[in-house]
Amino acid sequence: MSATRISHDAPTLTPSPDDLVPAHSNDPELTKEKVLRLETMLVEAEAATQSEHKLGLWQALKLYPKASAWSILISFAVVMEGFDVVLLGSFYAYPEFVRTFGTQGADGTYQVPARWQAGLSNGANVGAIIGLILNGFVAERFGYRRVMIVALFYMIGVFFIFFFAKNLQMLLAAEILCGIPWGIFQTLTTSYASEVAPVVLRGYLTTWVNACWGIGQLIALGVLRGLLNRTDEWGWRIPYALQWFWPIPLIIVAFLAPESPWWLVRKGRIADARKSLERLTSKSSGVEDFDLDNTISMMAHTNELEKEISSGTSYLDCFRGIDLRRTEIVCGAWACQQLCGSAFMSYSTYFFQQAGLPAESSFDLSMGQYAINTGGTIIAWFLMASGVGRRTLYLWGSIWMCAVLLVVGGVSTVNNIAASWAAGVMLLLWSIAYQFTVGTVCFSLTTELSSRRLLIKTLNLGRGLYCVIGIINGSIMPYMLNPTAWNWKGKTAFFWAGLDLLVIVWIFFRLPEPSGLTFGEIDKLFEQKVSARKFKKVGIDTFGKDRARLAVAREAVGVEQVEKDKPTSAHLENA
């Protein structure tokens, strides 16, 4: 099939939504015009699929610079969540916060009780679960942009509760209420990134969300470190006040950004999808092997393929037929993030302090850890660019983390400052492994392995499980580390190493490799029940069934085959 040149200014030639159905010879409404339209869509979709596979990284960046920019800016919404999560976990080691909200022990020191540490940490996860469930309905109905704008306005009001908090009860209410939009942002940002990017950029733009987490966490640690010597209430009020910085610029970005063309196709708004794709691509890219109409046809074909193999778009449909396996994989990929020992990250400053390090050194080590979080995403990009698969990164990263956790637990059996520093350094090595593998790649895997029609709901279920496990982690971690509770300190690492072994087994047997595949090709691999370990080794013909059907339909209505070496406009002119 010959390549079609870029045609940003060509008229819209994509078939109407009513035409985008599989052709059958016994269809009473089958006409020559309909068959020609269906064949045109198939020819264009095949051309776009070939173009996606041939598109290199630098070509994609030149062709989709605006899509990349919008995706990067939208993802900054996650910075707010990363900022607050680290604030809360670090405040437990923050002298002025502990004196304000904690209770004095027999030794004269102040501690926020373990039950309240668990409650506050879990409050955000409870709110996030509510937001995730809500997002499954509103984002698919109203679109990504509108939902994000409303959620950001809502957050501006909730931040007042943080700033004027007088007791732990007010902080708990703020965490729950703020968790709702955070739950929305957790999946909305990655969904948007996956749907505005071509195959070659998907991994980079979806994993950028993890870098935003790291940026938020690093900013929070830097602010706290700078205010550490304050002895008044502003030492903890100022960090909360800084949360007001983010919503207004993000609202402007969401208002100006184009809507996801995939979402518009799912809504049958083909002309709007084409306009959105035009805003996401560059006319002067110099990439000849690209056509807007072909790409929209590929989206429409994938949508119709998923409609045929999936019964609907409700939450229940995530647990039916082929989509049950996809839901299990997405949920499992999210669960891996929680079960591999990442609970240490939210409590790292507190962990370092309970291990015997001074407050200043604890914050310094945590800042190094969160700097690794951001840098780890860049490392993951280089690994993906060199051809290392998502599954490979997930598997070997988990093996590395398990080994480090065993060492952390081992050195923590020695009770001296040198052992505490060794445990801290090993935890930084754990962070390196986590951030350029499981911590980063998860955002790409979960968006790629979901179907387009159930994308938001599948991601919400997976992230919801992540939050449920986070609630469990948030309930037990304070008791593991708190000297007034179980007081396991660094030996907590042995517990997480055991769970990490289970993660490694699941990855090996259940996690497929989606890199380099179009969404339509991934759909076909799931439809044919290809095993996880053979996902990239099995050849797939995404359009074979449709070609066979159209051959029967052409014969039924007496239409000759569309010549595939002609440009798209000729197809409809001849029709």
Q: What is the tens place of the pLDDT at every residue in 198-235? A: 989 998 999 998 888 878 878 887 887 787 777 778 87
Amino acid code (one letter) for 486: W
Domain assignment of residue 288, yes or no: no
Within-domain flag for 103: yes
Q: What is the pLDDT of residues 52-99, one digit of tens each?
A: 888 888 899 999 999 999 999 999 999 888 887 777 767 777 777 888
Average per-residue pLDDT for the chain: 82
Residues near 556 by beta carbon (within 8 Å), at least 6 away in sequence: 25, 30
Interacting residues of 139 by C-beta distance below 8 A, sequence separation 6+: 147, 184, 188, 191, 456
Cα separation, 442 vs 391, in Å, equals 10
Task: Using alpha carbons, select from 36, 53, 14 the residue that is nearest to residue 540.
Answer: 53
Lookup: tokens for 116: 């309240």
Tell me if 291 is assigned to some domain.
Answer: no
Query: Across residues 528-541, what is the average pLDDT?
Result: 83
Check whether 172 has a pLDDT greater than 80.
Answer: yes
Q: Which residues contact 107 (CB under 8 A, 6 or more apart)?
A: none
In this predicted structure, which of 167-181, 209-223, 462-476 has the lowest mean pLDDT? 209-223
What integer is the mean pLDDT of 527-542? 82
**Residue 554 domain-assigned (yes or no):** no
The number of domains in the chain is 1
Work out whether strand 110-111 and strand 103-104 pair parallel, antiparallel, or are unpaired: antiparallel
Inside any domain, residue 396: yes
SS3 113: coil
**Sign (positive or negative) of CA dihedral 159, 166, 471, 113:** positive
> Is it the case that residue 11 has pLDDT exceeding 60?
no
Which helix H or strand E contains 433, and what residues bound it?
helix 417-435
Dihedral class, residue 94 (left if φ above 0, else alpha if ψ from -120 to 50, else beta): beta
Give the pLDDT confidence score for residue 29 in this predicted structure.
62
Per-residue pLDDT at 152 exceeds 90: yes
* Domain contains 269: no
Where in the sequence is the domain holding 248, given as residue range(s)?
62-263+308-523
For 118-135, write each residue's pLDDT tens digit: 788 788 888 999 999 999
**Does residue 284 lie in a domain region?**
no
Question: Is 275 part of any domain?
Answer: no
Q: Are 57 and 200 contacting, i.e. CB atoms less than 8 angstroms apart?
A: yes
Greatest mean pLDDT range, 154-163, 372-381, 403-412: 154-163
Phi, psi of 87 (to 5 degrees): -55, -50
Chain centroid to CA 124: 18
Pull the structure tokens for residue 46: 């095949």
Does 150 have pLDDT greater than 90? Answer: yes
Counts for the chain of helices (H) and strands (E), in that order: 26, 2
Query: Which pLDDT value is given to residue 24?
Result: 43
CATH code at position 110? 1.20.1250.20
Q: What is the dihedral of CA 341, 346, 352, 353, to 10 degrees?
A: -140
User: What does 21-69 look like in DSSP terms, one character per residue?
Assistant: S---TT-TT--HHHHHHHHHHHHHHHHHHHHHHH--HHHHHHHSHHHHH
